[in-house]
């Protein structure tokens, strides 16, 4: 196996090769990811007899977490869109915030939703909403994707009870109540800078979302659908919001009940129905039953379309996990840990950089947060810094630098139907700016260490 600084050279070369295959030679991302995963594994010295297992292991472990959810999420979105629910919600948001501030509304929505709900699930649930908002407002789809994705990833990385920050709070021995309070304060500038402010600028010259052109008979088909819709009942705004929020309510109920009455039969029951895959499955069944009078197409056609769309997304997401599995097995993360422990820099900055580099190299926010806090957390008493501030710096480092070895990169890319350059511009750059804004907020808080309660 290759060791030392050559590992970093191979990692950078693998990313450059991936971008070259996709952008220059127009390879499909699934094929490019598998090819680069194989080449990287051979380059770092993983035995060729073990490499297939490493690739399939990374592929499978990624889809264990998101595979079912992606399929159910696409079905759920198709039902909401075909019933007119998404249009109703979009119209109500425009009325409440106004057209110019609709990206801010989405950034706030993403920030709130991702506290109890995992990033992938929330993005899948809300993607049709931002498509409809972009279509109605003529504001760039890039702007809305940036606002939503950054809002989601900031609280996913910073605010308990998401598992990553929860483990960080525990490893740094931070009081959980104060950690949540200051993580929310830190999240506000991060979302405003990376999601809203940057999102408006990133989408300045990019088009709004438009439904896919169906060919020469597109207008005729549209007229047929409209005629069919005219015979259907019109869905109400309240019902539209209820169905959109149903999986989020189920997941949030699980979180609340587990905190109030842990280790009880009630907690076990809510733990089952509030598990993200089960919550989405229940939501699909409820939506299929309730929305039947409002649907503009048959459920059979809607589900067939959803399955076709989900298949490619699942393949590419799994391939991203396969690439990440090879990177993890290569020892790149372990080497970075060894190197960074010798660096002489302020501990808050060290925690941020440590976490961010692991995030980039391993492709997982949770793994980066857990690894960094496991190493630095036990030393917090000797480092002369508030455990909350160190923990928040570690969490902020997990926000940005998402690269194609992160399955979340491909979830954003495929569900938002963006090009790879636009995905880098929205998801990677927007998230990185949000992480830096969070770090700035943490440094401001550090000026009041010993003055503000809990710090």
Q: Tell me, what's the pLDDT at 137?
A: 84
d(CA 169, CA 23): 40
Does residue 50 sit within a domain?
Answer: yes
Pick from 5-9, 29-33, 211-215, 380-384: least confident: 211-215
- Give the bridge partners for 140, in sequence order: 208
- Does 276 have pLDDT greater than 60? yes
CB of 304 within 8 A of CB of 298? no
Domain that holds residue 47: 6-58
Contacts of 166 (CB under 8 A, 6+ apart): 160, 176
CB burial string 101-111: b at 16+ within 10 A, e below = ebbbbbbbbbb
Q: Which of 13-17, 138-142, 165-169, 271-275 has the lowest mean pLDDT?
A: 165-169
Look at residue 154 and tell me if it is in a domain: no
Mean pLDDT of 347-355: 86
Q: Using 50, 70 and 90 to split pLDDT, how confident is the model at 144? A: very high
* Residue-averaged pLDDT of the chain: 83
34 lies in some domain: yes
Q: What is the mean pLDDT of residues 6-10?
A: 89
Backbone φ, ψ for residue 208 (5° rounding): -75, 165
| Per-residue pLDDT at 221 | 39
Residue 19 lies in a domain: yes
What lies within 8 Å, CB to CB, of 445 at 6+ separation is 182, 185, 186, 389, 392, 452, 455
Q: What is residue 441's predicted lDDT score, i.e. its pLDDT? A: 94
C-alpha span between 381 and 387 (Å, rounded):
8
pLDDT top residue among 297 and 112:
297
pLDDT of residue 187: 93
The pLDDT tens digits of the residues spanning 312-325 come to: 778 877 887 788 78
For residue 354, give Cα distances in angstroms to 151, 374, 389, 419, 431: 23, 12, 15, 29, 16
- 201 to 136, 159, 163, 278, 440: CA distances (angstroms): 19, 26, 32, 38, 21
Q: Are 122 and 152 in contact (CB under 8 A)?
A: yes
How many distinct structural domains can be found in the chain? 1
In this prediction, residue 302 carries a pLDDT of 87
Task: Find out whether 65 and 314 touch, Cβ atoms under 8 Å.
Answer: no
The whole-angstrom separation of Cα 363 and Cα 289 is 38
What is the structure's pLDDT at 233? 78
pLDDT band at 352 (very low <50, low <70, confident <90, very high): very high
Q: What is the pLDDT of residue 40?
A: 92
Q: Percentage of the chain with pLDDT > 90?
A: 24
Q: What is the largest CA-CA distance in the chain?
A: 72
Span between the terminal Cα atoms of the chain, in Å: 44
pLDDT digits 0-9 by tens, 104-130: 888 888 887 776 556 777 787 788 888
Whether residue 299 is contained in a domain is answered as: no
Stretch 128-142: mean pLDDT, rounded? 86
Is the confidence at residue 450, as pLDDT, over 70?
Answer: yes
Residue 208's DSSP bridge partners are 140
pTM reported for the whole predicted model? 0.71
**What is the mean predicted confidence (pLDDT) over 214-243?**
61
Does 392 score more than 90 pLDDT?
yes
In a domain, 43, yes or no: yes
pLDDT digits (tens, 9 = 90+) for 409-434: 888 888 888 888 889 988 999 999 99
Best CA proximity match to 104, nearest among 2, 191, 231, 202 = 191
pLDDT at residue 222 greater than cutoff 70: no
Are the C-beta atoms of 74 and 122 separated by less than 8 Å? Answer: no
pLDDT band at 231 (very low <50, low <70, confident <90, very high): low
Per-residue pLDDT at 370 exceeds 80: no
Determine the Cα–Cα distance for residues 138 and 439; give it in Å rounded to an integer: 33
Average pLDDT over residues 290-294: 92
pLDDT at position 166 over 80? no
The sign one gets for the Cα dihedral 348, 350, 351, 357 is positive
Q: Give the model's pLDDT for residue 150.
A: 92
> Is the pLDDT reported for residue 227 higher than 60?
no
* Statement: residue 230 has pLDDT above 70: no
pLDDT tens digits along 95-106: 888 888 889 888
DSSP codes, 37-104:
HHHHHHHHT--TTTHHHHHHHHHHHHHHHHHHHHHHHHHHHHHHHHHTHHHHHHHHHHHHH-STTHHH
pLDDT at 342 (0 to 100): 73
pLDDT in tens, 21-71: 877 888 888 898 899 899 999 999 999 999 999 999 988 887 886 788 778
Question: What does DSSP assign to residue 418?
Answer: -
Packing angle, helices 365-376 and 387-397, rounded to 10: 150
213: exposed, middle or buried (Cβ count in 10 Å: 0-12, 13-18, 19+): exposed
Does a structural domain hold residue 276?
no
Does residue 39 form part of some domain?
yes
List all residues 6 or more positions away from 151 whose beta carbon is below 8 Å from its beta carbon: 106, 107, 108, 109, 110, 111, 114, 191, 195
The pLDDT score that the predictor gives to residue 116 is 54
């Amino acid at each position: 196996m290759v060791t030392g600084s050559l590992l970093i050279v191979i990692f950078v070369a693998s990313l450059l090769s991936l971008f070259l295959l996709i952008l220059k030679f127009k390879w499909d991302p699934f094929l490019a990811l598998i090819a680069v995963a194989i080449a990287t594994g051979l380059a770092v010295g993983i035995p060729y007899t073990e490499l297939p297992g490493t690739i399939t292991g990374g592929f499978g472990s990624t889809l264990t977490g998101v595979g079912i959810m992606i399929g159910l999420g696409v079905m759920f979105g198709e039902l909401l869109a075909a019933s007119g629910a998404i249009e109703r919600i979009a119209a109500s948001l425009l009325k409440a915030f106004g057209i110019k501030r609709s990206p801010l509304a989405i950034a706030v929505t993403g920030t709130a939703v991702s506290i109890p709900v995992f990033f992938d699930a929330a993005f899948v649930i809300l993607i049709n909403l931002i498509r409809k908002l972009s279509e109605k407002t003529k504001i760039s789809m890039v702007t809305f994707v940036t606002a939503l994705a950054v809002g989601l990833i900031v609280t996913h990385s910073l605010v308990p009870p998401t598992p990553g920050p929860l483990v960080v709070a525990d490893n740094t021995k931070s009081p959980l109540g104060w950690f949540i309070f200051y993580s929310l304060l830190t999240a506000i500038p991060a979302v405003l800078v990376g999601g809203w402010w940057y999102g408006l600028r990133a989408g300045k010259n990019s088009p709004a979302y438009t439904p896919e052109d169906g060919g020469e008979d597109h207008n005729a088909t549209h007229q047929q659908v409209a005629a069919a819709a005219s015979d259907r009942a019109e869905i109400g705004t309240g019902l539209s919001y209820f169905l959109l929020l149903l999986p989020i309510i189920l997941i949030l109920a699980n979180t609340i009940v587990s905190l109030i009455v842990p280790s009880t039969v009630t907690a076990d029951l809510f733990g089952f129905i509030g598990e993200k895959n089960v919550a989405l499955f229940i939501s699909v069944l409820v939506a299929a039953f309730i929305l039947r009078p409002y649907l503009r197409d048959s459920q059979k056609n809607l589900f067939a379309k959803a399955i076709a769309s989900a298949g490619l997304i699942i393949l590419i997401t799994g391939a991203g996990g396969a690439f990440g599995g090879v990177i993890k097995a290569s020892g790149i993360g372990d080497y970075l840990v060894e190197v960074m422990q010798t660096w002489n820099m302020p501990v808050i900055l060290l925690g941020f950089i440590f976490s961010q580099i692991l995030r980039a190299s391993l492709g997982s926010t949770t793994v980066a947060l857990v690894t960094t806090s496991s190493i630095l957390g036990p030393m917090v008493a000797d480092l002369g810094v508030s455990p909350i501030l160190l923990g928040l710096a570690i969490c902020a480092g997990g926000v940005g630098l998402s690269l194609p070895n992160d399955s979340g990169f491909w979830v954003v890319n495929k569900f938002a139907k963006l090009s790879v350059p636009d995905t880098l511009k929205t998801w990677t750059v927007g998230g990185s700016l949000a992480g830096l804004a969070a770090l700035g907020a943490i440094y401001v808080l550090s000026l009041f260490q010993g003055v503000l309660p809990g710090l």
